[in-house]
Structure formats: C-alpha cells, structure tokens
Amino acid sequence: MRSHMMSVRLALILLPLAIWGCSAMSDSPTDTPMATSPMAKPKDGELALPADYKTWPKFLTDIDKEQNKQVRDIYINRTGARAKTGESFPNGTIMVMEIYKAKENPDGTLAKGADGKLVKAGLSKAFIMGRGEGWGQDVPDNVKTGNWIYSVAGPDGKLMPDDFNKCRACHVPLAQKDFVQRYDEYFQKRGGM
C-alpha cells in the first residue's frame, strides 16, 4: 500500500513536469511554461530527464575531463537556446549534461581518438538543470542559484538520489554568468547571438 501511495505521489509530481517539458520545447512564441502554475515548483531531485533531450540543440559536446576520467555532452532545450549573450536564461530552460566514462587502454591510460579527444565509454549518468519561476527557493541562502534546480538520472533515465548541495556549490560562484558553467564558451561557440 505504501509503495502504491508513493507511486501515486510521484506521478502527481512528474505529470505536470512532463506536460510543461513538452510545452517548453515548442517553438511557438506563445509558450507559457507551466512554471507559472503554483503546482509546478519542483525541488532538487524532482526534475525528470526529458525523453527527447538528444533532439535539442547542443550546448557543448565532447568536453574532456581527464582528471575525472570523463567526457561530457550538454544539451539545452529550445527555450534556453533562445537566450542572448549577456542575458539570463529564461524560465522554462532545461539543460542536460551527460557524463560518460572515458575509455581506458589496457595499460590504464585514457584512450584518445585521432582528434586527440578522449573516447567515450558507457554513459554513467545525466545531470538535469532547470529553471522556473520561484524554483530553488527552499534551500539555504548560501547555496541558492537563482531559480535553478538540479536532478540526476542514471543511464536508464530514472532519477537517482544525490547531494545537490554539491551541484549548487559548483554553480554558486557563477552568479555573473546566470549560475551556468561554460556560459561564455557557449555564447562564443554560437557566435555571440
């Protein structure tokens, strides 16, 4: 019975997010993200991995993190991709950062492709970062990152528990960049649009 009740509660939380996620990806200029609804204020760990995120514009890809033995790819939904240099990302923005293990050679060194970049092995997890009106306000002031919240999903797409204060700690120093890692690099790649 308790398991059934938890499933019902989770469905009630995720259904509005799924509906909002679909509407937030539309190219219609009349999008009104569900974040304006009082029901749509998820907390860290509650933002689901959008099933179609691989169809979104790429934020940055093939980011080598040799010290972590990882390769990262970041996607941004169409709502976020509309942001201009120097602006904050709009409410409704969702970013997904895939974390891949870097392939290792038999001698333990990291494998590199002909381009000198690390070679991806299996997907470890995906971090989800989303912004909505009034989101992320239930955390201590020293780890608030505007209206951003964070989740993590396993390779199967299911949400996993995590210490989201660690996520927040990495983003807190970036207030001038809308709390977004690689903000400048992203807009330089886009040509400053």
pLDDT digits (tens, 9 = 90+) for 5-55: 444 344 444 434 443 444 343 333 333 333 334 556 899 999 999 999 999
Mean pLDDT value across residues 148-175: 94
| Segment 109-115 mean pLDDT | 92
Q: What is the pTM of this model?
A: 0.75
> How many percent of the chain have pLDDT more than 90?
64
| Average pLDDT over all residues of the chain | 82
The rounded distance, in Å, linking the Cα atoms of 11 and 98 is: 25
The residue with tokens 């509005």 is 16
Checking if the pLDDT of 71 tops 90, the result is yes
Where do we find the tokens 């993190």? 65
**Residue 82: pLDDT above 90?**
yes
Higher pLDDT, 26 or 68: 68
Question: What is the number of other CB atoms lying within 10 angstroms of the CB of residue 134?
Answer: 13
CB 25 within 8 A of CB 77: yes
pLDDT score, position 104:
92
> Would strands 70-76 and 58-65 be described as parallel, antiparallel, or unpaired?
antiparallel
Whether 33 contacts 92, CB under 8 Å: yes
Is the predicted pLDDT of residue 126 greater than 90, yes or no?
A: yes
Q: What is the pLDDT of residue 39?
A: 58
Q: How far apart are CA 64 and CA 84, in angstroms?
A: 26
- Structural domains of the chain in order of their starting residue, each with its CATH number: 2-189 (3.50.70.20)
Q: How far apart are CA 142 and CA 169, in angstroms?
A: 9
